[in-house]
Amino acid sequence: MTAYFFKGVDKGRLRKFCAVRDSLDNLKNVLNLVELINTCAHCKIKNYDKGFDFVIFSGEYSRALIRKTDGFFTMAIPFQIVDDGRLYFNYDEFGIEVDGRLISILRNAISTSKLGKNSHEEIIISLVDSFGLEVHEATYFYDTFAKLTMEDHGYFRFDDDPKNQNGKIHPRYHFDFFLKDSSSVKIGSEKLIDIESFYALFDGTREKHYLREL
């Protein structure tokens, strides 16, 4: 498993990551991440630094780990990482690079859906009107969008939450695993974790941690 660390990213751009309530929010975060990769090559660092902003893990399970003020969140990346001297993403299933144009098109589809216009006809019309696409082109991008929103987003987070701490009911340090949009599982932790804990979770060759009841 290869790790690509980024540090020194503009804080305003990092604040564009949103709380995840559904698959559209998760896709929005994925696109924000890809845009950062595409435009912040100067922020890529060679080795781990504890002050990193985010890290991309490649391998069998491609994931991102993003630092937040009160912990971390992580999500699967549905695209394929390419490192040929330039780090970028392809969506191999549709044979396209995830560039600025595709990001804009997918963001338009997200915005249209969040306005309650969820039918494929409404999204396709929005793409035609906004980008001057032919209907068959807009349909192709709609299919791309629909496939991405159906992917298992694998989102979970680790929180340091002293404000809402309530003994074992709501531990200060805890994981929130989102099984689907409407439900999650909370698991407490004895301490604030570091990146080694995520390596153990993500890397199939690493020794795993054990849960124990306090």
Query: Tens of pLDDT along 11-66?
Result: 999 999 998 888 899 999 999 999 999 999 999 999 999 899 999 998 777 899 99
pLDDT digit string, tens, across residues 138-166: 999 999 999 999 887 888 999 999 999 99
Per-residue confidence (pLDDT) for residue 13, from 0 to 100:
94
| End-to-end Cα separation, the chain, in angstroms | 33
Q: Alpha helix (H) ranges present in the chain?
A: 11-14, 23-39, 100-114, 120-131, 135-150, 195-202
Residue with tokens 């969040």: 114
> How far is the C-alpha of 174 from the C-alpha of 171, rounded, in Å?
6
Q: Convert 40-79 to b/e letters by CB count within 10 Å (16 or more is b).
A: beebeeeeeeeebbbbbbbeeebbbbbbbeebbbbbbbbb
Which tokens is 154 given? 């694998």
> How far is the C-alpha of 181 from the C-alpha of 193, rounded, in Å?
25
Which tokens is 171 given? 């531990």
Per-residue confidence (pLDDT) for residue 183, from 0 to 100:
65
* Global confidence as pTM: 0.90
Q: Identify the three-state secondary structure at position 111.
A: helix
> How far is the C-alpha of 48 from the C-alpha of 57, rounded, in Å?
12
Of the pLDDT bands very low, low, confident and very high (cuts 50, 70, 90), residue 180 is low
